[in-house]
Structure 1
Amino acid sequence: MPIARRLSRVLLAAPFVVLGYEAAAEPGGRVDLAAGIGIPNPEAAVRLNGAAMTAGGVALGLGVLPRSAATGLAVSLVPTTLAGHAFWKHEDPATRKTNRIQFLKNLGLIGGLVAVAAATEGGERRRR
């Protein structure tokens, strides 16, 4: 596998490992955000989502089932993005701008994850 592909997977995985661990260990204000979009048992959901992001990030970074890891990370990023960065709900221009930036950053991460998930080289083999 080319070094560029390995490096790109490690770099793409890094925020999921670090931020996922932080969310699992200390959910903090994320719990209120999850509750705000109707997630049942929001603290457990935030911790579970953080743990899933950490595990998926580690797998992606190590190249273990990278397509599956990328798919799982992309899916886990959707509720995080909708709950945590709903910029359209904020009146304050600075808060709205910050959340819009984070929302767009997450869209970019999802795009990178979709590219890894769709890759046919260097990933899991398709069953025939």
Structure 2
Amino acid sequence: MTTTTSRVARAALGVPFLWLGYEAAAEPGGRVAAAADLGLPRAEAAVRFNGAAMALGGAALVTGVLPRAAAWGLVASLVPTTVAGHAFWKDDDPATRKANRIQCLKNLGLAGGLLLVASES
């Protein structure tokens, strides 16, 4: 990728993590119950920490500060987020199952984009 294209791509990829991570850290809400269902001790603190990690990783991507490390960290943060929040395989209701499958696939696509950033030299 060209340098400009790479910067724009990193910014586009980083903004959702920055925004949504901040929201999760500031107001964990229903995410706490999902984290507790995974058996995480101190579920609220775990949700806030994961949100803060996402916000910082997103900010790092947007600004270009250690983008490869940020991308790896964001991939790692997507795993618990996806398993806790979008476990479509557990849903009985077809509409809920479909919505969670869409979110799970979206997260898979985000992970793919992050892995591309992580692989840049």
TM-score class normalised by the smaller sequence: over 0.9
Q: Output one character per residue of 1:33-89: Cα deviation in whole Å (capped at 9) or x when no partner.
A: 001111111000000000010001001110000000000010011000000000011
The equivalences for 1:105-120 within 5 A come to 105-120=106-121
Aligned counterparts of 1:82 and 1:109: Cα–Cα separation in 2:
15
Structure 1: 4+ residue segments shifted above 6 A: none
Query: Partner of 1:31 in structure 2?
Result: 32
RMSD: 0.7
Query: Partner of 1:90 in structure 2?
Result: 91
Aligned counterparts of 1:69 and 1:14: Cα–Cα separation in 2:
13
Greater fraction helix = 2
Q: TM-score, normalising length from structure 1?
A: 0.92
Query: Partner of 1:74 in structure 2?
Result: 75
- Structure label with greater radius of gyration: 1
For structure 2, the residue ranges without an aligned partner over 5 or more in a row are none
* Matched residues, number: 120
Query: Partner of 1:8 in structure 2?
Result: 9
